[in-house]
Amino acid sequence: MEAKGQVTAEKYAADISSIREAQLRIGPFIHRTPVVSSETIDAIAGRKLLFKCECFQKGGSFKFRGACNAVFSLDDDQAAKGVVTHSSGNYAAALSLAAKLRGIPGYIIIPKNAPKCKVENVKRYGGRVIWSESNLRSREDTATKVLQETGAVLLHPYNDGRTISGQGTISLELLEQAPQLDTIIVPISGGGLISGVALAAKSINPAIRVLAAEPMGANDAAQSKAAGRIITLPETNTIADGLRAFLGDLTWPIVRDLVDDVIIVEDKAIVEAMRLCYEILKVVVEPSGAIGLAAVLSDDFRNNPAWKDCSNIGIVLSGGNVDLDVLWDSFRK
Amino acid sequence: MEAKGQVTAEKYAADISSIREAQLRIGPFIHRTPVVSSETIDAIAGRKLLFKCECFQKGGSFKFRGACNAVFSLDDDQAAKGVVTHSSGNYAAALSLAAKLRGIPGYIIIPKNAPKCKVENVKRYGGRVIWSESNLRSREDTATKVLQETGAVLLHPYNDGRTISGQGTISLELLEQAPQLDTIIVPISGGGLISGVALAAKSINPAIRVLAAEPMGANDAAQSKAAGRIITLPETNTIADGLRAFLGDLTWPIVRDLVDDVIIVEDKAIVEAMRLCYEILKVVVEPSGAIGLAAVLSDDFRNNPAWKDCSNIGIVLSGGNVDLDVLWDSFRK
């Protein structure tokens, strides 16, 4: 019989070995991001919080870890024709940069309504922008066309063992930098980040809790956990534009088994947490990046007896790519 | 005969010994701030830049190092009645926090026109706010009155050996974190920060260059270096509200002897550098904090043959206390 939450090899799309291999593979290319803390914020939260600053990662988010691991996992023949993805978000910039470092083309299919700063990031890192309409059908059709024309490899932003393994390197670093952690809180969207983080963290310390933070307006992961199967939503509505994806068939089993709970957060609380990050931590985060702090400060978390002895909490500030104009408008509301 | 720029003991208000003592004294209280870098910014600058993030220091700026060293240098009898300073800026918050940590009163005389976020910082850290008019006369009169009433010790924000020694600990950390540096660029105002940084850095590596960055609208240090004596200005005009002070009799000899050059920067360039810090580094800096980057990107620096082989440059991001409203207005201009 298998204990609940136990991490076993070969059961999931990634494991501690593939994560350690990823660390060796991507080590020369990534930033080992710092961990910062603030007694002022600790006093507000009533706990010790340690912030892993993936907003300082290359490309401005944790996504570079997974993209870099996927790109450098390809053999030379596979890689030569380039890589392609459809993303309006941080994975697009991350994959562009990883492809550039490997010296191969990175084709990025971007919907026309994507945030300006994220498109600029793709161009800055040498990605080849290919526009599509904003609906999924157009994005997939465009991807198929690019694949046929170029022979490039399609890489998925989160539903891929190589991506999950790359994201898991965050836990390896974080638990070296702050071995006293009893809890890690991670934003959840498609589940790539939290899958890697949970696999690595629970292999190193089976007692550690891994909690997801999810916006109310895109709470498919919470619904999935409750239903015991992947739930998708007809639409999402949140300021956290990076957290609108749904779980994939590779991330879902890991989220189902290893994520201890999903904490739901209102957009208003996300904006307040962003403001604390700017004013107290002095760290630029995007809305998705601040949701972990919002979760820790939420009544749902504070009042839940299950989490009352979470006293040393690692929070992954997942990214910092935000249009300053959009940011400002959110603070003014 | 003494070589120009050589650091000798007992000549200045601080030296490498007092700085190492400060490091031991304040070590338990300060953050060892991280060093971050960006290949994107390196490409813009044409050099390798390493940013020492004192904006993440407690109190939001490097000032806490000096304040902490001064407060914990006092013997118990001196300390018991508290400390007092007149400052509208980061030193006020820093001294409040240092006094709180020592368990003594911190009296902070603040002019009525001080930025809101800086007053809030003082209150947050437990400082006792005493208002004065914004002119120097009123500030000094108020200080005298507080000293008479309380018996507290007056501490100067920069013209004090203990303060200079505390700020010098930045170099000790930075040169451990990035021993390859050939140059350090530091904002200059009253000279406390750059004096400590230069004393420590040149003791460790006499070949290292220490350059000051100063706003055009408050260029008294450049004028002082040119004249060979302390020059003060009838008025200052710059967005960098932390850089309006003039050199003191203790900081001037160090600036005169150990600072290799002063690079003058326009406010417009400071705002552009701030934007890079937000958009690329993802670090919240105040205008004074961004001036080092502005200096490195300036034509004056780029075109000066004396600095063409500065290839590994440490930049002190000195602070991050900024009203988001004020910041935004500066970006919109």
For residue A275, the chain B residue with the least C-alpha distance is B324
Interface test with A, best of B120, B282, B283 (most A CBs within 10 A): B282
Query: Which residue, among A276, A272, A264, has the nearest Cα to A51 in the 3D structure?
Result: A276
d(CA B293, CA A324) in angstroms, rounded, equals: 20
For residue A101, the chain B residue with the least C-alpha distance is B39
Measure in Å the smallest separation between the Cα of A26 and chain B Cα atoms.
Answer: 16
For residue B126, the chain A residue with the least C-alpha distance is A40
Quick check: A124 and B283 CB within 8 A? no
Quick check: B285 and A281 CB within 8 A? no
- Cα distances (angstroms) measured from residue B36 to each of A55, B8, B49, B66: 11, 32, 9, 23
Q: 3-class DSSP state for residue A311? A: coil
Q: 3-class DSSP state for residue B191? A: coil
d(CA B37, CA B14) in angstroms, rounded, equals: 30
Query: Which residue, among A197, A213, A181, has the nearest Cα to A48 in the 3D structure?
Result: A181
Q: CA torsion sign, A132 to A137 to A142 to A147?
A: positive
Interface test with B, best of A119, A282, A324 (most B CBs within 10 A): A282
Residues B12, B256 contacting (CB under 8 angstroms)? no
Quick check: A331 and B324 CB within 8 A? yes
- Cα distances (angstroms) measured from residue B45 to each of B4, B214, B279, B283: 30, 18, 16, 18
A88 is catalytic: yes
Quick check: A283 and B278 CB within 8 A? no
Chain A CB contacts of B93 under 8 Å are none
Interface confidence (ipTM) of the complex: 0.90
Contacts A–B by Cβ distance under 8 A: 55
* A160 secondary structure, DSSP code: S
Residue in A36, A60, A117 nearest the CB of B56: A36
Measure in Å the smallest separation between the Cα of B284 and chain A Cα atoms.
Answer: 5
Which residues fall within 8 angstroms of residue A187, CB to CB, at 6 or more apart? Answer: A193, A194, A212, A213, A214, A240, A242, A243, A288, A289, A291, A292, A316, A318
Quick check: A56 and B39 CB within 8 A? no
In degrees, rounded to 5, the angle at the alpha carbon of residue A238 between the alpha carbons of residues A234 and A240 is 120
Tokens of B14: 């601080």
Chain B CB contacts of A290 under 8 Å are none
Quick check: A282 and B56 CB within 8 A? yes
Chain A CB contacts of B119 under 8 Å are none
- Chain B: residues touching A (Cβ < 8 Å): 31, 34, 36-37, 39-40, 53, 55-56, 58, 60, 117, 124, 275, 278-279, 281-285, 320, 324, 328, 331
Percent helix, strand and coil across chain A, each to the nearest 5: 50, 15, 35
Tokens of B237: 């005009």
A145 is catalytic: no
- Cα distances (angstroms) measured from residue B307 to each of A166, B185, B261, B311: 40, 12, 10, 9
Question: Which stretches in chain A have pLDDT values below 70?
Answer: 1-10, 88, 333
> Which residue of the set B48, B58, B63, B118 is catalytic?
B63
Full-model pTM: 0.92
Question: Which stretches in chain B have pLDDT values below 50?
Answer: 1-4, 9
Which residues fall within 8 angstroms of residue B323, CB to CB, at 6 or more apart? Answer: B115, B116, B117
Which residues fall within 8 angstroms of residue B324, CB to CB, at 6 or more apart? Answer: A275, A278, A279, A328, A331
Quick check: A282 and B278 CB within 8 A? no
